[in-house]
Structures are given as C-alpha cells and as structure tokens.
Structure 1
Amino acid sequence: MRNASGTPLTGTGACGTTSSLGNTGADGSFNVAGTIELVKTGTISGGTIQPTASGGIYYSGVLNTGVPLNNSSNTLSIASGTPVRQVTCSVSSLSANQTIPMATVNPSMFPGSGSVAAKTPFSIALICDANVGVAVTFVSATGNSGIASVLASGGTATGVGVQLLNASGAPITLGDPLQLTSGTVANPTFNFFAQYWRLGSAPVTSGSVNASTIFTMSYQ
C-alpha cells in the first residue's frame, strides 16, 4: 500500500508513523487516500485473489488510541475474487529509472498562472506478450503542487512545477490510472511529455527545478 504521495507504507501488524495515510481534523473528521498494488514475488499463476484476516487486508485506526476509523468499517483490501491473469509484461530497463533533462528557461517566459514552457518528450518502453491491456498511474514523489496534473518541485526555483501530458498533449491526472492500450502488439513504446507550469500568481524565481514521479504499470 502507498499513501497519496506514493510513499510505501511499511508498518506491519500495528499502526505506526511509517504506516500513516493522513491525519484527522480537529473535529475528528478525515479524508485520506492511498493505493494498493500487487507485487510479484515469484512465478505467477492464474486465479483469483481472496484477501483474509491473515493477509491482504489492511485495518485503519487512529495512531496510539486503539480507535478504529469509520465506525469500525475500517478495512482496506483488494476486492475478493479479483482475477489474476498470467501475462508476461515488464518495463524495459532503459525506461525503468529515467532522468528527463529539460531546457533552461527564463522566469519571464511565465507571464501568468498556468503559463507553460519547455515541452519535453519522454517515453516508457515495455517488453510484453501480445494482447495485454496496459495502464499507467503516475504519482508525485516530490510533494503536492495543488494542481492535479503537476508535480511539485524540490529544487530552488519557486512558483513552478512540472506538468505531465499524454501522447496527445492532454494533462495526466496524478493518481488516476491512464489506459494506454487495450491490447499490446509486440513490444510497445508509449509517449508522454513534461513541461514547466507556473503554479500561481506569485512570480517565478530563478533556480533549479527537480520534480520526480513514480509510475506504476498495470496489465490485464
């Protein structure tokens, strides 16, 4: 399981600071989000997933209180009976960990909120069987920019983030699966773009821009 920022939760057996999905409000209300993903640990055989109390079910509660969330309707799991189909599909080693260099730009290129610059292509190549449905989910590894399609920057420049676009140039919503194909042919390559995005009314200041994303491929 990952939290909304894409960080893996490492707590096992009990709540802890390393297994936090978020915080409750002053009035006790909460609105937290995360993702559950499957991890290959060996040879995969077809079948269905049946979560049980001894594995595959996450329980949520308030740290150090023993209080469950949501009036004890507090379990999180993959739906029982979720099918698993044995397919061979993996990310090419050249695509797995990429650094995308973007052009140096001047703050004057961002006249207003939502201004963009330096649209830069990148791609993800796969090694796949034929007829595999493929989707990708991007999440920010450098924080929340406040814009659904924009990665926050951990660099020294201020007022700017990095927006992700699909092959058609449309913004990609972080955290939402993006269907890339319903059936692969040979070993496909999927194209994307990244571009600088002015985040608000405050002026963009010079410095470095360093944004990171974690992408998760899903296959059917």
Structure 2
Amino acid sequence: MKHGFIAFAVLASSVGVSAVHASAGSINYSGEVQQATCDVAVNNHNVFGNNVTLPKASSSSLSKVGETTGTTPISITLLRCNRGAMPVVFFEAGSGVDALTQNVLNASGTATGVQLQLLDTANVPIRVGDMSQLAARGVGTVGSGNVTSQYSVRYIATGVSTVGTVRGSVTFSLKYE
C-alpha cells in the first residue's frame, strides 16, 4: 500500500510540473548575413578606445546659438574589405545624441551651452541617427581593400557657452550595399 501511495504522489507531481512548461509566447529573431566586412581605423588608430582631441576654444566664439569653432578632421579608414564591397558609415542615435539637434551631447564635460557637430566630406552637418546618411554618405566601392572617408567634428553653441571641458561620444556602424 505504501508503494502505491508513493507511485500516485510521483505521478501527481509530474502532472503538476507539466503545467509549468506551458507555452507563454514566442520570440522572433532577425539578423543579416553580409557578403563583405571591413576592419575599421579612426585617425589611423584601432577604433576601440580612440579619442579625437579638439583644439581649445574661447567661450566668446560660442556666445550665440549656432556659432561654431574648432573644426577638427577625422578619417575613418575601412581596412581589409572584400573587393567590391560598398560600405556606408552610419552615425547612430543613442543616449549620447541630442534627439532635437542630432548633435553629439557634451555628456560628461563641464562646459554648458555647447555640443559637438559632425560634418561630412563636403562640410555639411551630419544629422546623427538620420537615415538619410545611408543615401548620402557612402564611401564608394572598395577596389584595393582599403578606403578612407574624411569627416570633421566641431563645437557648436546651443546657448551662451560657459568654460569647461567638452566630452561626448557617438557610435557608428557600417552598412554594406
């Protein structure tokens, strides 16, 4: 009799466990397999941990909204790309980007009233996170395995600036056409 009770208890507990494993929903995954990839260097340095230093700027040169100064070149070199690749550099929106101005925020600096504005090869402001970059900012077809794009960054006043440090960061990705 004791064995029958134990068998019934084991059977009853296994029925209870199966209810715990009932379907609760689904997860959809997406990704992309690309034909070509490249390594990246910024200003001829490995992309990770790279810093771009802008010149010191006078707060008087950033006293009105929209004033700019301190334009500093940035080269993004795509290395060891597969021949025929057509990469496009895309500067992504994120927590370090002002959603209104689409400039890079002075996220950890002490100056106020100033952001960082990215410029494309033609010195046209890049609206960080804007999908139009994909159409307008291609670096061309890779023939030799390496290709370099020239960009710039500069200070831009969002109000009367105060003295202090300016520090920001932006994430970029590569889209292969």
TM-score normalized by the length of structure 2: 0.71
1:130 matched to 2:83? The reply is yes
Point out where structure 1 has 5 or more consecutive residues left out of the alignment.
1-13, 15-52, 58-77
Point out the structure with max Rg over C-alpha: 2
Q: Using the TM superposition, give the Cα deviation of residue 144 of structure 1 relative to its aligned residue in structure 2, in angstroms.
A: 1.9
Query: Larger relative CO (CA 8 A, sep 6+): 1 or 2?
Result: 2
2:63 alignment counterpart:
111
**Which AA in structure 1 matches 2:165?**
S
Identity fraction in percent: 27
- Relative to its length, the structure with more strand (as a share) is 1
Q: Using the TM superposition, give the Cα deviation of residue 85 of structure 1 relative to its aligned residue in structure 2, in angstroms.
A: 4.1
Q: Using the TM superposition, give the Cα deviation of residue 145 of structure 1 relative to its aligned residue in structure 2, in angstroms.
A: 6.2
* RMSD, matched Cα: 2.3
> Deviation digits for residues 161-219 of structure 1, max 9, x if unmatched?
0000011100111113533234112201111000000013xx21000000111111111
The answer to whether the Cα contact below 8 Å between 1:141 and 1:211 also exists between their aligned partners in 2 is no
1:87 alignment counterpart:
36
The answer to whether the Cα contact below 8 Å between 1:121 and 1:193 also exists between their aligned partners in 2 is yes
> Deviation digits for residues 115-166 of structure 1, max 9, x if unmatched?
0000000111111122211111113552426312x11102100000000001
Aligned length: 142
1:39 alignment counterpart:
none
Aligned-partner SS, 1:213: coil
Q: Using the TM superposition, give the Cα deviation of residue 111 of structure 1 relative to its aligned residue in structure 2, in angstroms.
A: 3.5
- Relative to its length, the structure with more helix (as a share) is 2
The answer to whether the Cα contact below 8 Å between 1:105 and 1:118 also exists between their aligned partners in 2 is yes
Return closer, same or farther for 1:145/1:102 CA change in 2, 3 Å cut-off: farther
> Deviation digits for residues 57-100 of structure 1, max 9, x if unmatched?
6xxxxxxxxxxxxxxxxxxxx7xxx7x44224221482413200
The answer to whether the Cα contact below 8 Å between 1:141 and 1:214 also exists between their aligned partners in 2 is no
Aligned-partner SS, 2:60: helix
1:180 alignment counterpart:
138
1:194 alignment counterpart:
153
**Which AA in structure 1 matches 2:166?**
V
The answer to whether the Cα contact below 8 Å between 1:141 and 1:212 also exists between their aligned partners in 2 is no
The answer to whether the Cα contact below 8 Å between 2:139 and 2:149 also exists between their aligned partners in 1 is no
